[in-house]
Chain A
Amino acid sequence: MTFASTQVYAPTPSIPGELKVIQDATCTFCGCVCDDIELTVKDNHIIEAKRACVLGKAWFLNHSIEDRPSCMVDGKPATLDQGYDRAAQILTDGKYPIIYGLSDSPCEAQRVAVSIADWIKGTIDTTTSVCHGPSGMAFQGVGEVTCSLGEVANRGDLIMFWGSNPAESHPRHFTKYSLMPKGMFLPNGRKDRTCVLVDVRKTKSAKAADIFIQIKPKRDFEALWTLRALAKGLDLDPELVQRETGVEFAVWTDLMDRMKACKFGVIFFGMGLTMTRGKHANSEAILALTRDMNEHTRFVAKPNRGHGNVTGADNVVSWRTGYPFGVNHSRGYPRFNPGEYTTSDTLANREADCGMTIACDPMANFSQPAREHLASIPFIALDTKETPTTRVAAVAFTVATYGINTGGTVYRMDDVPIPLRPAFPSPHPSDYDVLTAIEERVKKILGVTHR
């Protein structure tokens, strides 16, 4: 089948020398997914990206079409058809195929990737497993009290960031959603809000905060449970609290007073929380604290997601399999077990015997054993540029960049789906095109007749 929405807003080629302006384009660099960018395009090059932040500007302005073949097989240029054939062969020959990545692809392509995993009885996993996977697991334990980003803008009068540094990772977070906006119930914008930053080091975001609390490294869990205890009105030993968290007890009681007194509190948390000692226990603590605070006032929490469409990946994998990431189909139906079916594990445990990576670079950031194993098995890599991963792939596809060259849908970090308005076409196929072609061949090999 063809997903209709990939056809939406197909980019038109620019006329040589003429300027083309794209209004309300969407930046997919980070989880903020700002959809108010005005792009000026000349000769298939973006020359201006109004309203984009420093990261967004780099994303748009540095974009150029890669001058390399759309397909390489065993390191040599090949036709797309040769690549598709070989890819389908690799994925159907293996006993333990894995598909990984997805967080920088539109939902339409993600859906095809999940289909392929289903047909080949493979394992599908997204970069969530190495960023907010612990938050996903914590969510399954305690739930989550949250809201869309517009609610933060309109109501949030106490804004906390925990283990998150939006000044550098999500530069428009403050101005667009969390601190500066003049919201419906906060007519004076920043003046009506208090901002608290909790981190193990003084990051660039500290400048934006009214209160900066520097906790001992790896003591997020203790700090959060201190707050939980204070929320419940339990007696604590001030010295013990200071020793465990590295912060004076009075700072915590003052913070709790503010948390109870605010009208609508918000905690944004980042990988400084989820990827440090405690991992999902930390996320669970922050989600439970947020829940506890609703006994006193309104309070919500939200992970500051990184990649442009990692939230879409969570959604697509969930609606199709019932689980958010780390999903294994070897028995023909989906099973979920983070730590077993997550890619860093299937590789480091030397279980996977073939695979496909989509819009990710595990050869650059996985553990040594995982990298060694990946380099030793046949796999397919889809990326917009050459990376350490594409270099060792048996089949490497150079694909068009989503949001700049191709359309589709992405989900902002608060699960709001937003359409893409690409600027100009690419000579390379989209990841949707490549995956669809591979899926067709895989189905043929396996005798799948699903339409």
Chain B
Amino acid sequence: MTSSDTIKISQGIVYDPLHGVDGQVRDIWILEGRIVDPPTDPTVRPSRTIDASGLVVMPGGIDMHCHIAGPKVNVARKMRPEEKRRGEQMPRTNITHSGTMGSVPSTFATGYKYAAMGYTTAFDAAVPPLGARHAHEEFEDTPCIDKGFYVLMGNNHYVMQSLMKNEPQKLKAFIAWLLTSTKGFAPKLVNPGGVEVWKSKQAGNVSGLDTLVDHFQVTPRQIIAGVARAANELALPHPVHIHCNNLGMPGNWETTLETMRALEGLRGHITHIQFHSYGGGAGDENTFNSKVIPLAEYVNANPNITIDVGQVLFGETTSMTGDGPLGYFLSKVYGGKWFSSDTEMESGCGITPIKYRNKSLVHSLQWAIGLEWYLLVKDPWRVVMSTDHPNGGSFLAYPQIIRFLMDRTYRRDILKTCPLEILQRSSLWDIDREYTLSEIAIITRAGPAKILGLKNKGHLGVGADADITIYTPHENKQIMFEMPRVVIKSGRIIVEQGEIRETLIGKTLHVQPSYDLEVESDIQEWFEKYYSIRWRNYPVDLSYLHESCVIPTRLSEFPQ
């Protein structure tokens, strides 16, 4: 007897770290988009069997920090025609749309490329609430993967005003209202307070956690602590995602340490921490060095903190950030074209092309510092692979990063091409650690799923989404991870040997925390005073989501 629509992945070498499965041979059964128990009746046959003997089976990859949709990503696409003609061409086929690559691929190309690499979920890390509708429209044109985004709120006027007036209940309600209105996934802080100062004066920024933000009389420390507290009280699946102040500046490691301390033991995620781990004198590139060791010690000792790396790769890319003053700084360093846009009441944005060169001491240090982070955090469940696509490099570099982590000879070979002085300024050469396949499975899928509170992703247990990647083992791990043998998304085989076989649009993951509805009238009063669009036209309704998937708060974990 054949059970319709059932797929069996037979005899694969399975890596499912959440369930302690570390390279054991198992069968996996799939029905209606989910992983199911094998049928009790041994005569039941699947409608399709994938012979995975000798192949490695993992959950689909999860990119928890990238820039793939919304206003600033699209501006970057428009701004960089020059890199598309020399980039890989993506002609249309009978089942796929055409697209363009370069450092900021078009929407369809983004979806196809993630899927072809075995990634089935991705989160855009910085969407201004006013541009949320735009991000959702692009998501509908970004196929093959599930998507969500983080909502910029570290410079939001209502957030700062609630902190200034010491109204934590209003802050909490506002965060929940804003996430619900935008159909967003998590609160994002980008250079908290600093972007507001940038909007108000020439080259404006905050210098550290205790600088007062003009007009609002709050400090970055208060914003970080206040939002972290409110978001943890709301029990959001991913409470707060923090891009620290002073990104890229020599000596910024102290700001990063202070930011982690400001969380006061609450759950918080520090993103692209590579860019925030620099020693040296203020603004002095000659004294630039790695401070991963002391920062990693702090992370190792404080289980409330998780990080992703923001690995830099050598080559040309586009820097894009919600950190307006950083965009200004980078445009002056590199001298190229520069885009900046300030969004009323909410956020900023900066975009400029950059090129990371292995002959540059600063750039090669940035590269080494990223790798130090992967290798010095002891618990792989708390460090996540990212390039902060496209800031450090493309998401397409993940297979190469895996090779750096699993092959110390390879990473030392690359290190040898960098300026010698790097050896005095970073500990990378001395680190012997090599990642295992199981650890790779953690930092690319099981870990981010856990950090994001996605109970149906990042593992292969019964009930999980059938997002599965099957790899052909290879000594060169870059080759192994570049071209999966099979990728299954929501129970459908969408990729074989790196080629798209079928497409789907994917789900939008968002949150809907409950909040004190009485605060809404206060929010409305503030909104109508200063916004340039109407209150009723601001929230994004469900019709913009092709397939909505509400991720429950962590509160719902307890009754079970």
Do A8 and B543 have beta carbons less than 8 Å apart? yes
B390 at the interface (CB under 8 A from A): no
Do A319 and B344 have beta carbons less than 8 Å apart? no
A365 at the interface (CB under 8 A from B): no
B505 at the interface (CB under 8 A from A): yes
A234 at the interface (CB under 8 A from B): no
A250 at the interface (CB under 8 A from B): no
Q: Which of B69, B78, B336, B352 contacts A323 (CB 8 A)?
A: B78
Contacts A8-B543, A409-B133 given; does A320 touch B89 at CB 8 Å: no
Q: How many A-B residue pairs have CB under 8 A?
A: 221
Do B344 and A147 have beta carbons less than 8 Å apart? yes
Which of A55-63, A78-86, A225-233, A416-424 participates in binding chain B?
A416-424
B294 at the interface (CB under 8 A from A): no
Do B533 and A145 have beta carbons less than 8 Å apart? no
Interface string of B124-147 (1 = CB under 8 A from A): 000000110110011011000000
Do A291 and B338 have beta carbons less than 8 Å apart? yes
B471 at the interface (CB under 8 A from A): no
Tell me which residues across on chain B come within 8 A of A298, comparing CB atoms.
199-202, 204
Interface string of B68-109 (1 = CB under 8 A from A): 010101100111111011000111101111111010111111
Contacts A143-B351, A151-B344, A298-B200 given; does A118 touch B534 at CB 8 Å: no
Do A150 and B534 have beta carbons less than 8 Å apart? no
Do A184 and B530 have beta carbons less than 8 Å apart? yes
B544 at the interface (CB under 8 A from A): yes
Do B544 and A334 have beta carbons less than 8 Å apart? no
Quick one: closest B residue to A421, CB to CB? B537
Do B344 and A148 have beta carbons less than 8 Å apart? yes
Q: Which of A141, A335, A419 contacts B85 (CB 8 A)?
A: A335
Minimum CB–CB distance from A407 to chain B (whole Å) comes to: 9
Q: State A140–B138 Cα separation when bound (angstroms).
A: 21
Quick one: closest B residue to A37, CB to CB? B534
Do A419 and B133 have beta carbons less than 8 Å apart? yes
Quick one: closest A residue to B539, CB to CB? A419
Interface string of B331-354 (1 = CB under 8 A from A): 100001111111111000001100
Interface residues of A in 117-143 (CB under 8 A from B): 118-119, 121, 136, 139-143
Tell me which residues across on chain B come within 8 A of A184, comparing CB atoms.
157, 529-530
Do B97 and A147 have beta carbons less than 8 Å apart? no
Interface string of B198-210 (1 = CB under 8 A from A): 0111111000000
Q: State A332–B96 Cα separation when bound (angstroms).
A: 11
B410 at the interface (CB under 8 A from A): no
Which of A208-216, A343-351, A354-362, A443-451 participates in binding chain B?
A443-451
B426 at the interface (CB under 8 A from A): no
Tell me which residues across on chain B come within 8 A of A245, comparing CB atoms.
none
A192 at the interface (CB under 8 A from B): no
Tell me which residues across on chain B come within 8 A of A119, comparing CB atoms.
92
Quick one: closest A residue to B544, CB to CB? A5
A188 at the interface (CB under 8 A from B): no
Do B138 and A319 have beta carbons less than 8 Å apart? yes
Tell me which residues across on chain B come within 8 A of A3, comparing CB atoms.
140
Do B107 and A24 have beta carbons less than 8 Å apart? no
Q: State A4–B541 Cα separation when bound (angstroms).
A: 11
Quick one: closest B residue to A146, CB to CB? B341
Do A148 and B130 have beta carbons less than 8 Å apart? yes
Tell me which residues across on chain B come within 8 A of A14, comparing CB atoms.
none
Contacts A315-B74, A448-B94, A450-B94 given; does A146 touch B133 at CB 8 Å: no
Do A35 and B505 have beta carbons less than 8 Å apart? no
Tell me which residues across on chain A come within 8 A of B73, comparing CB atoms.
319
Do A26 and B537 have beta carbons less than 8 Å apart? yes
Do B534 and A417 have beta carbons less than 8 Å apart? no
Q: State A409–B328 Cα separation when bound (angstroms).
A: 32
Do A416 and B530 have beta carbons less than 8 Å apart? no
Tell me which residues across on chain B come within 8 A of A115, comparing CB atoms.
97
Q: State A155–B201 Cα separation when bound (angstroms).
A: 11
Q: State A184–B532 Cα separation when bound (angstroms).
A: 12
Contacts A111-B141, A263-B201 given; does A333 touch B98 at CB 8 Å: yes
Q: State A319–B204 Cα separation when bound (angstroms).
A: 31
B99, B102, B351, B504, most chain A CB atoms within 10 A: B99
Interface string of B343-386 (1 = CB under 8 A from A): 11100000110000000000000000000000000000000000
B546 at the interface (CB under 8 A from A): yes
Q: State A187–B116 Cα separation when bound (angstroms).
A: 54
Interface string of B19-53 (1 = CB under 8 A from A): 00000000000000000000000000000000000
Q: State A136–B79 Cα separation when bound (angstroms).
A: 8
Do A294 and B532 have beta carbons less than 8 Å apart? no
B454 at the interface (CB under 8 A from A): no
Tell me which residues across on chain A come within 8 A of B78, comparing CB atoms.
136, 139-140, 314, 318, 323-324
A376 at the interface (CB under 8 A from B): no
Do B130 and A143 have beta carbons less than 8 Å apart? no
Q: Which of B82, B130, B202 contacts A416 (CB 8 A)?
A: B130
Q: State A3–B136 Cα separation when bound (angstroms).
A: 11
Do A107 and B137 have beta carbons less than 8 Å apart? yes
Do B543 and A153 have beta carbons less than 8 Å apart? no
A40 at the interface (CB under 8 A from B): no
Q: State A349–B203 Cα separation when bound (angstroms).
A: 48
Do B530 and A183 have beta carbons less than 8 Å apart? yes
A89 at the interface (CB under 8 A from B): no
B10 at the interface (CB under 8 A from A): no
Tell me which residues across on chain A come within 8 A of B545, comparing CB atoms.
4
Quick one: closest B residue to A299, CB to CB? B202
Quick one: closest A residue to B128, CB to CB? A148
A433 at the interface (CB under 8 A from B): no
Do B92 and A24 have beta carbons less than 8 Å apart? no
Tell me which residues across on chain A come within 8 A of B140, comparing CB atoms.
3-4
B108, B137, B331, B536, most chain A CB atoms within 10 A: B137
Tell me which residues across on chain B come within 8 A of A147, comparing CB atoms.
341-344
A427 at the interface (CB under 8 A from B): no
Do A36 and B534 have beta carbons less than 8 Å apart? yes
Minimum CB–CB distance from A249 to chain B (whole Å) comes to: 26
Interface residues of A in 431-451 (CB under 8 A from B): 446-451
Do A143 and B79 have beta carbons less than 8 Å apart? yes
A sample of 16 more A-B contacts (CB under 8 A), given A147-B342, A318-B78, A323-B100, is: A24-B536, A24-B537, A26-B537, A119-B92, A136-B78, A139-B339, A143-B79, A150-B532, A153-B530, A155-B199, A263-B201, A320-B97, A321-B98, A333-B99, A419-B541, A448-B94
28 A-B contacts (beta carbon < 8 Å): A5-B137, A5-B543, A8-B544, A107-B137, A118-B98, A140-B79, A143-B351, A144-B339, A146-B341, A146-B342, A147-B341, A150-B531, A150-B532, A150-B533, A154-B344, A318-B77, A319-B69, A319-B77, A320-B141, A321-B100, A322-B109, A331-B91, A332-B91, A336-B81, A415-B71, A417-B137, A446-B94, A450-B95
